[in-house]
């Protein structure tokens, strides 16, 4: 409807034919104007204004009365009538971002409002907000990689005021109604991948605008694969290499560290970029290789591998049945050995001391060596160890010994009862058999077994010898090779050497006819078995048996 056609007469205008000289009827009315929203209405006698957020001010009412209008007729006489008065109302905005929305009440439409008053009229002009808020997102940039709680902020403004800002990452939202606008969006429950981070501002009219940027959520640490030495030992001057692989939603950086065990990691660039790392020439010791992979969100994965550099040769400690430089009548000799580190292998050689030695060869046992068939003469034995990475003992362990013919056997007659009767005590030593306080050495001349024979002495002291019982005052085994086991009924001592006391076996007097059997064994030597027998009214008797590996005990 055009502004002209919108002029409306609210009251019916009836022009009545009046008789000449009659008085016309008088009519009046009051126009009341109201304003909703920031704006102004003007017209004849009307200047009504409302500011944003304020009350209506100005002249918002006007009284209108009919006006008498007279005209001359054809005869020149006046003809008068009453004509209603009216006005045209115009609406204008008074605040930026607002527009006139239309009239209501006794006027309608969105143009000018024309009124003719013959009665009271009311008109309302409504202004609406047509400007959306402005908003800017902060806290993350376009393409950012985020994890955990994502801190977002926003600046927002509006011509009529912002009522709330809604922050979001993906489908997770948080509302803030008070500036400064901010929120922290949790992402721990989200699947890694791409999302929109946004801030949307709303005003009181429901108008909104948004600001958003793409982000990538990455809450998962990188998957790292390491191929290379793990728990292995290497010789000095060697090279170690590890191959690296990484998998992650976002880009990663890879760093590497090799430090002595117990030291904090010292990360730097890997020698082969992100794909490998190599070190060479590390000194003797244990080390830890660590690769650290960090993704764009700051998630970190560390993977470590240990290794060792063995640049020190092993050192052998040797135990034999003859001391270095000793003389023996045995034609079979054995040695056992240990090393300063585990996992070694041994090589041995035995040769006449006056001759140039031959090459080393594997020893006869894992940690021992036995040789037999020695003629009288001086010999040398050498052993050297090689560790698991190939370090060879620089100076072999060497022992020399001299084999002499065995002396003729000597038989010692059995001693009679000591003076003073059967209640006396005894002491001393005897090379073969037994006697009061006697001892019996174990010779090796008869043995032709490959393993050397253990040579020990079972020594004892006694008192109160009677036909029924004998009280032993001491009982020991002498000359036990290092690493041997000494055992008897109710007694066992492992890793024994030297002199071993058997005192627990002689706490009570022993009945005539009873025996004590003592076994002395060694992994690289033939076993010795000593038996002490209690005789009625006589000194105890000691006998000896020898048992080669895999054989049966025989007197010796």
The better pLDDT of the pair 523, 229 is held by 229
- The per-residue pLDDT for 464 is 74
134-217 with 316-403: one CATH topology?
yes
pLDDT at residue 497 tops 80: yes
- Locate all alpha helices (DSSP H) within 343-425, ordered by sequence: none
Provide mean pLDDT across the span 477-497.
89
Reduce the DSSP state of residue 278 to 3 states and report it.
strand
Q: Read off φ and ψ for residue 554, nearest 5 degrees.
A: -135, 150
Provide mean pLDDT across the span 126-137.
96
Task: Give the CATH architecture of domain 316-403.
Answer: Sandwich (2.60)
The better pLDDT of the pair 378, 549 is held by 378
The better pLDDT of the pair 262, 524 is held by 262
pLDDT at residue 383 tops 70: yes
- The per-residue pLDDT for 441 is 34
Provide mean pLDDT across the span 26-52.
91
User: Using CA atoms, how far apart are residues 163 and 166, in angstroms rounded to an integer?
Assistant: 10
Q: Are 368 and 332 in contact (CB under 8 A)?
A: no
**pLDDT tens per residue across span 312-331:** 999 999 876 677 888 888 88
**pLDDT grade for 35, boundaries at 50, 70 and 90:** very high
- The per-residue pLDDT for 480 is 84
Pick from 229-243, 429-443, 499-513: least confident = 429-443
- The per-residue pLDDT for 483 is 81
User: Using CA atoms, how far apart are residues 174 and 186, in angstroms rounded to an integer?
Assistant: 10
Provide mean pLDDT across the span 521-541.
89
pLDDT at residue 414 tops 80: no
Strands (E), 171-295: 172-176, 181-186, 193-203, 208-217, 223-227, 232-235, 239-247, 252-260, 268-269, 276-280, 285-295
- The per-residue pLDDT for 425 is 44
Pick from 99-103, 249-253, 424-428: least confident = 424-428
Q: Are 156 and 179 in contact (CB under 8 A)?
A: yes
Question: What single-letter DSSP state applies at residue 3?
Answer: T
Pick from 108-117, 128-137, 362-371: least confident = 108-117
- The per-residue pLDDT for 67 is 77
Pick from 53-67, 154-168, 396-410: least confident = 396-410
Residue 398: CB partners within 8 Å, gap ≥ 6?
324, 380, 381, 382
pLDDT at residue 350 tops 90: yes
User: Using CA atoms, how far apart are residues 197 and 171, in angstroms rounded to an integer?
Assistant: 10
Provide mean pLDDT across the span 51-76.
87
DSSP per-residue string spanning 444-471: -TT---SSPBP--EEEEEEE---SSEEE
Share of the chain above pLDDT 90, in %: 64
Q: Are 115 and 106 in contact (CB under 8 A)?
A: yes
Per-domain residue ranges for the chain?
Answer: 29-129, 134-217, 224-308, 316-403, 457-555
Q: Which residues pair with 99 in a beta bridge?
A: 128
**pLDDT tens per residue across span 177-226:** 999 999 999 999 999 999 999 999 999 999 999 999 999 999 999 999 99
DSSP per-residue string spanning 92-160: EE-STTEEEEEEEES--BSS-EEEEESS-EEEEEEEEE----EEEEESS-TTEEE-SEEEEEEEEE-SS
The CATH class for the domain spanning 134-217 reads mainly beta
Q: Which CATH superfamily is domain 224-308 in?
A: Immunoglobulins (2.60.40.10)
- The per-residue pLDDT for 412 is 43
Q: What is the mean pLDDT of the chain?
A: 86
- The per-residue pLDDT for 524 is 80
Share of the chain above pLDDT 70, in %: 87
User: Using CA atoms, how far apart are residues 107 and 65, in angstroms rounded to an integer?
Assistant: 20
Provide mean pLDDT across the span 225-245.
97
CB-count exposure of residue 204 (10 Å: 0-12, 13-18, 19+)? exposed
Nearest CA-CA partner of 441 in 424, 454, 450:
454
DSSP per-residue string spanning 503-517: GGGGSSPEETT-EEE
Q: Which residues pair with 244 in a beta bridge?
A: 226
Angle at 198 between CA 197 and CA 199, to 5 degrees: 150
- Per-residue buried b or exposed e for 213-238, using 16+ beta carbons within 10 Å of the residue's own CB: eebbbbbbbbebebebbeeebbeeeb
pLDDT at residue 519 tops 90: yes
């Amino acid at each position: 409807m055009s502004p002209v056609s919108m002029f409306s007469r609210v009251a019916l205008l009836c022009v009545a034919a009046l008789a000449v000289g009659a008085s016309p009827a008088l009519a009046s009315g009051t126009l009341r104007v109201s304003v909703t929203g920031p704006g102004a209405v003007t017209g004849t006698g009307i200047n009504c204004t409302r500011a944003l957020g304020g009350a209506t001010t100005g002249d918002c009412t006007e009284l209108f009365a009919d006006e008498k209008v007279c005209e001359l007729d054809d005869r020149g006489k006046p003809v008068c009538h009453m004509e209603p008065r009216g006005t045209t109302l115009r609406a204008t905005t008074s605040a930026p971002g607002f527009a006139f929305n239309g009239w209501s009440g006794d006027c309608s439409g969105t143009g000018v409002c024309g009124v003719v008053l013959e009665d009271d009229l009311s008109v309302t002009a409504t202004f609406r907000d047509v400007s959306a808020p402005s908003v800017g997102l902060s806290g993350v940039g376009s393409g950012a990689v985020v994890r955990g709680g994502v801190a977002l902020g926003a600046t927002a403004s509006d011509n009529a005021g912002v009522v709330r800002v809604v922050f979001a990452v993906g489908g997770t939202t948080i509302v803030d109604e008070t500036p400064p606008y901010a929120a922290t969006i949790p992402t721990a429950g989200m699947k890694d991948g791409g999302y929109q981070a946004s801030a949307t501002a709303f005003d009181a009219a429901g108008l909104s605008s948004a600001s958003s940027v793409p982000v990538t959520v990455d809450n998962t640490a990188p998957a790292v694969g390491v191929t290379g030495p793990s728990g292995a030992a290497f010789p000095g001057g060697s090279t170690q290499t590890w191959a690296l692989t990484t998998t992650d939603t976002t880009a990663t950086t890879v760093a590497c560290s090799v430090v002595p065990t117990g030291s904090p990691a010292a990360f730097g660039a890997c020698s082969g970029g992100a794909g490998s790392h190599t070190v060479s020439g590390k000194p003797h010791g244990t080390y830890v290789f660590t690769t650290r992979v960090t993704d764009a969100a700051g998630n970190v994965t560390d993977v470590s591998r240990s290794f060792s550099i063995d640049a020190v040769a092993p050192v052998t400690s040797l135990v034999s049945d003859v001391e270095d430089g000793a003389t023996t009548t045995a034609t079979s000799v054995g040695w056992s050995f240990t090393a300063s580190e585990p996992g070694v292998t041994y090589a041995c050689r035995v040769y006449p001391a006056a001759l140039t030695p031959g090459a080393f060869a594997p020893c006869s046992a894992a940690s021992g060596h036995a040789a037999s068939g020695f003629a009288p003469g001086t010999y040398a034995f050498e052993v050297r160890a090689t560790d698991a990475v190939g370090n060879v003992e620089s100076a072999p362990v060497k022992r020399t010994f001299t084999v002499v013919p065995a002396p003729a056997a000597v038989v010692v007659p059995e001693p009679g009862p000591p003076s003073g009767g059967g209640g006396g005590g005894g002491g001393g030593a005897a090379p073969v058999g037994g006697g009061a306080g006697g001892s019996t050495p174990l010779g090796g001349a008869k043995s032709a077994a490959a393993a050397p024979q253990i040579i020990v002495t079972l020594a004892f002291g006694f008192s109160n010898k009677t036909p029924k019982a004998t009280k032993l005052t001491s009982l020991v085994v002498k000359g036990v090779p290092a690493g041997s086991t000494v055992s008897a009924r109710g007694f066992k001592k492992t890793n024994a050497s030297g002199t071993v006391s058997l005192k627990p076996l002689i706490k009570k007097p022993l009945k005539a006819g009873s025996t004590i059997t003592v076994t002395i064994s060694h992994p690289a030597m033939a076993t010795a078995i000593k038996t002490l027998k209690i005789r009625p009214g006589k000194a105890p008797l000691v006998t000896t048996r020898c048992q080669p590996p895999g054989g049966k005990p025989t007197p010796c």
